[in-house]
Amino acid sequence: MSTAAGAKDQVARLLTLVPYLNARGPVRLEDAARDLGVGPKQLLSDLKVLLMCGLPGGYPDDLIDVDLDALQDPEGDGVIRVSNAEYLARPLRLTPTEATAVIVALRALRNGAERETREVVDRALAKLEAAAAEGTAAPRIDPGQDAGDPDLALLAQRLQGAADRRRQVALTYYVPSRDEESERRVDPRGVVTANGFAYLDAWCHSAEAPRLFRLDRISQATVLDDPIRSEPEPPRDLADGLFTRSEEVTRVTLRLEAPARWIVEYYPVEEVRPGPDGTTEVDLLVADERWLTRLLLRLAPHGSVVVPAELDASFRSAALETLRLYT
Looking at the predicted structure, is the pLDDT value of residue 151 above 90? no
Which band of pLDDT confidence, cut at 50, 70 and 90, is reported for residue 196? low
Say how far apart CA 64 and CA 260 lie, in whole Å: 66
> What is the number of residues in the chain?
327
Predicted pLDDT at 326 = 56
Burial of 148 (0-12, 13-18, 19+ CB in 10 A): middle
Contact 233, 189 (CB under 8 A): yes
Predicted pLDDT at 147 = 45
188 forms bridges with which residues in the sheet?
202
The residue ranges of every structural domain in the chain are 3-89, 166-241, 250-324
Higher pLDDT, 307 or 51: 307
Contact 26, 78 (CB under 8 A): no
203 forms bridges with which residues in the sheet?
187, 210
Which band of pLDDT confidence, cut at 50, 70 and 90, is reported for residue 140? very low
DSSP state of 63: B
Which band of pLDDT confidence, cut at 50, 70 and 90, is reported for residue 224? very high
| SS3 (DSSP) at 68 | coil
Higher pLDDT, 15 or 145: 15
Higher pLDDT, 249 or 241: 249
Architecture of domain 250-324: 2-Layer Sandwich (3.30)
- Closest by alpha carbon to 281, among 299, 263, 303, 254? 254
Looking at the predicted structure, is the pLDDT value of residue 143 above 50? no
Q: What is the DSSP string of 1-59?
A: --HHHHHHHHHHHHHHHHHHHHHH-SEEHHHHHHHHTS-HHHHHHHHHHHTT-BSTT--
142 forms bridges with which residues in the sheet?
none
Which value, to the nearest 10 degrees, does the dihedral of the CA atoms of residues 22, 23, 24, 29 take?
-50
- Closest by alpha carbon to 54, among 87, 94, 7, 21? 87
Burial of 116 (0-12, 13-18, 19+ CB in 10 A): exposed
Looking at the predicted structure, is the pLDDT value of residue 167 above 70? yes
| Top-tier CATH class for 3-89 | mainly alpha
Contact 111, 125 (CB under 8 A): no
For residue 40, whether the previous peptide bond is cis, meaning omega lies within 30 degrees of 0, is no
Which band of pLDDT confidence, cut at 50, 70 and 90, is reported for residue 294? confident
- pTM listed for this prediction: 0.39
Range among 61-65, 74-78, 106-110, 222-226 with highest mean pLDDT value: 222-226
Neighbours of 278 (CB within 10 A): 9
First vs last Cα of the chain: how many Å apart?
78
